[in-house]
Amino acid sequence: MKPVYERFIENPDFTKSEFVELIKCAEDPEAVRKLKEEAVRIREIYYGKKVFTRGLIEYTNYCKNDCYYCGIRKSNTNAKRYRLTEDEIMACCENGYELGFRTFVLQGGEDAYYTDDRMVEIIKKIKEAYPECALTLSIGEKSYESYKKFREAGADRYLLRHETANEEHYRKLHPEKMSLAVRKNCLYDLKKLGYQVGAGMMVGSPYQTTEDLAEDLVFLKELQPEMVGIGPFIPHHDTQFAKEPAGSVEMTLFLLAVIRILLPKVLLPATTALGTMDPLGREKGLQAGANVVMPNLSPVKNRKQYELYDNKICTGEEAAECRGCMGRRVASVGYELVTERGDAV
Ligand code: SAM
Ligand code: FES
């Protein structure tokens, strides 16, 4: 019988047990090489050498949730909290627009200050000022009605990582009142409302098993999201996972390649967490099938405060520096950072 990675390349419609077998190949250099080669071949069929760029605006680090891994969790009393004003958010967009960004991502903790009405106002304002730009929200779990209001106000895309598709694992990463079922339901609601949807998981989060990762892949196959965000887990010193080991760069790259093959047209970022774990992590991500980067547009004065994990990169640079740096990084591996919305094909 052919090796499992060759069978996957021929027909990626794998079951959970086949994914388990596939993930075990992450330590086989020949399998890794073949999968990355295939991932790059596929991304180039759909996206050529283009890399899309998203301007990330981290607009609040207040959060009502208490995910055990996250530095901005409610119980971290050492976190210095901030919220951007509407004017500050608009200034980030203006700066980003001038630098060539045509997608803005509003990301934040689950902050009750931003009521549906406030969010709708901000969404409308951004879409009126920049009608040709795509607006992505990454603001957590909301009701169907709230998602509907945001969609009607003009939001185009929504990022909500499922974090782990295994119920038991989910419970080890989150307090009791959070639930995987609710999170998955949110993703299906977002799909119904016509958002381009992004799911995803951390790689190497505490207690994660190969079986859990296989379940993540099965879930992604079922959900068919337009975007998938994955990055290594990185400990934060003020959480109970402070002493846990970080996720591996190699496993993240392996999974990026697998996800590209599984969902050929997916928009797949080479994440900041990957760049934090390895100075060339984002470049390596692009060489494993990623086709999106998300430089930071948040005001420099607040960047360190949006500390999800330790040693996060790009916290001291101005947006223009970040844009320039990213352009050079992308070019260094033979790709081109482009100025376009970069919708799913
Ligand atoms: N509140 C929104 C939500 O829940 O989707 C968006 C913000 S949340 C901080 C963004 C993502 O950061 C999470 O989905 C999680 O995967 C990631 N994250 C949080 N803590 C992390 C850590 N310690 N290491 C790596 N990624 C982390
Ligand atoms: Fe932010 Fe390099 S991408 S400084």
Q: What CATH number does the domain containing 290 carry?
A: 3.20.20.70
Atom number in ligand 1 closest to CA 239: 23
Tell whether 300 is covered by a domain. yes
Helix/strand/coil percentages in the chain, nearest 5: 45, 15, 45
Tell whether 155 is covered by a domain. yes
Contact 277, 235 (CB under 8 A): no
Q: Residue 154's domain spans which residues?
A: 16-22+30-338
Binding residues for (3R)-3-methyl-D-ornithine: 138
The total of structural domains in the chain comes to 1
CB of 122 shorter than 6 A to ligand 1: no
Rounded Cα distance, 228 and 243, in Å: 27
Tell whether 151 is covered by a domain. yes
Q: Count each helix (H run) and each strand (E run) in the chain, helices first.
A: 14, 11
ipTM for the complex shown: 0.96
Beta bridge partners of 12: none
Atom number in ligand 1 closest to CA 63: 1
Which pLDDT score is estimated for 212? Answer: 98
Tell whether 3 is covered by a domain. no
> Is residue 152 left, alpha or beta, with left meaning phi > 0 and alpha meaning psi from -120 to 50?
alpha
Tell whether 9 is covered by a domain. no
* Mean pLDDT per 10-residue interval, the chain, length 345 residues: 97 98 98 98 98 98 98 98 98 97 98 98 98 98 98 98 98 97 98 98 98 98 98 98 98 98 98 98 98 96 96 93 95 97 94
Atom number in ligand 1 closest to CA 72: 9
CB of 190 shorter than 6 A to ligand 1: no
Rounded distance from Cα 29 to ligand 1 centre (Å): 30
SS3 assignment, position 231: strand
Tell whether 264 is covered by a domain. yes
Hunting for tokens 């990623």 — which residue is that? 290
Nearest ligand, CA 228: 1
Rounded Cα distance, 294 and 322, in Å: 10
Tell whether 67 is covered by a domain. yes
Angle ∠(4,292,189) on CA atoms, nearest 5: 80
The phi and psi torsions of 227 (rounded to 5 degrees) equal -135, 150
H or E segment and range at residue 135:
strand 134-138
Tell whether 5 is covered by a domain. no
H or E segment and range at residue 197:
strand 196-199
Angle ∠(86,92,97) on CA atoms, nearest 5: 125
